Amino acid sequence: MTYARDERLALCALLADLGPAQPTLCAGWQTADLAAHLVLRERRPDAAAGIPGGPLARHTKSVQSRLARRTPFPKLIEMIRTGPPRASLFGLPGADERLNTVEYFVHHEDVRRAQQDWESREIDDGLNELLWNRLGLAKLLLRKAPVGVELVREDGEPGSGRRVRRTARARTPVVTVTGTPAELTLWSMGRTGAAHVRLDGSDADVAALQAAAWGI
């Protein structure tokens, strides 16, 4: 088992429990839409190319909508649970862990934290380390942030030999964002209202960062 597989199976179990019409943190998406997105991403490369936006975004949206409407929800879940086909990029050896750990962790939390009765969960130390190491992605996500951004892990201790700070946006003035690697991951991926982080800087700089929008 890998962390990507753990998050995939946990998300599938949660989707099966909730059904297709529950909210998520993804604006405008219910659970059926999120499930369709994951199926499209791994099984429809023609449509997945439009996920980041651009000229294919309309095609991606259309394919996702059809999948959500026309595919029985239990079948969508089963397609996610069984993983990508061997011919998929995501089916290559090692690709699941490299490409899907952050994806499935974030989408698992997208569903969990959108429910009224959600509760915090314990994040495995190994998963926290992996998420911290993948936070290099924040440089891409925050490249247009209106201020500099430093990410600081609150579970790091100076002198421990473990890196506790990352520069996500190198400019001044700087806002420092502090949290666990899991919470910093969610914040960096645009789930700013749901992530448990602390922002430190001048009132004006913090407000400017909070007013900005980014994510995938």
Q: Is residue 216 part of a domain?
A: no
By C-alpha distance, which of 78, 63, 90, 57 is closest to 12? 78
Q: What is the pLDDT of residues 52-87, one digit of tens each?
A: 888 888 999 999 999 999 999 999 999 999 988 887
Same domain, 106 and 137: no
Q: Is residue 56 part of a domain?
A: yes
Same domain, 108 and 155: no
pLDDT for the residue 162: 66
pLDDT of 15 above 80: yes
pLDDT for the residue 136: 92
Across 96-103, average pLDDT: 92
Same domain, 143 and 106: no
CA distance 129 to 163: 10
User: What is the Rg, in whole angstroms, of the alpha carbon atoms belonging to the chain?
Assistant: 18
- The DSSP secondary structure of 192-215, one letter per residue, reads TTTS--EEES-HHHHHHHHH----
Residue 199's domain spans which residues? 125-211
Q: Is residue 68 part of a domain?
A: yes
pTM of the entire predicted model: 0.92
Sorting pLDDT into bands at 50, 70 and 90, what band is 208? very high
Tokens of 27: 């604006």
Q: Is residue 191 part of a domain?
A: yes
Domain count, the chain: 2
CA distance 184 to 93: 28
Between the alpha carbon of residue 119 and those of residues 22, 31, 112, 146, the distances in Å are 17, 18, 8, 32
According to DSSP, the β-strands at 174-179 and 148-153 are: parallel
Burial 63-91 (b: 16+ CB within 10 A, else e): bbeebbeebebeebbebbeebbeeebebe
Q: Is residue 73 part of a domain?
A: yes
- The DSSP secondary structure of 110-140, one letter per residue, reads HHHTTSTT----PPPHHHHHHHHHGGGGHHH
Q: What is the pLDDT of residues 114-140, one digit of tens each?
A: 999 999 999 999 999 999 999 999 999
- The last residue of one of the domains, among 112, 133, 159, is 112
pLDDT for the residue 161: 54
Determine contact, residues 104/4, Cβ cutoff 8 Å.
yes
Same domain, 161 and 106: no
Q: What is the pLDDT of residues 161-207, one digit of tens each?
A: 567 999 999 999 999 999 999 999 999 999 999 999 999 999 999 99
Same domain, 59 and 143: no
Tokens of 127: 């998963």
Say which CATH number the domain at 143 has: 3.30.1050
Same domain, 101 and 7: yes
Same domain, 107 and 57: yes
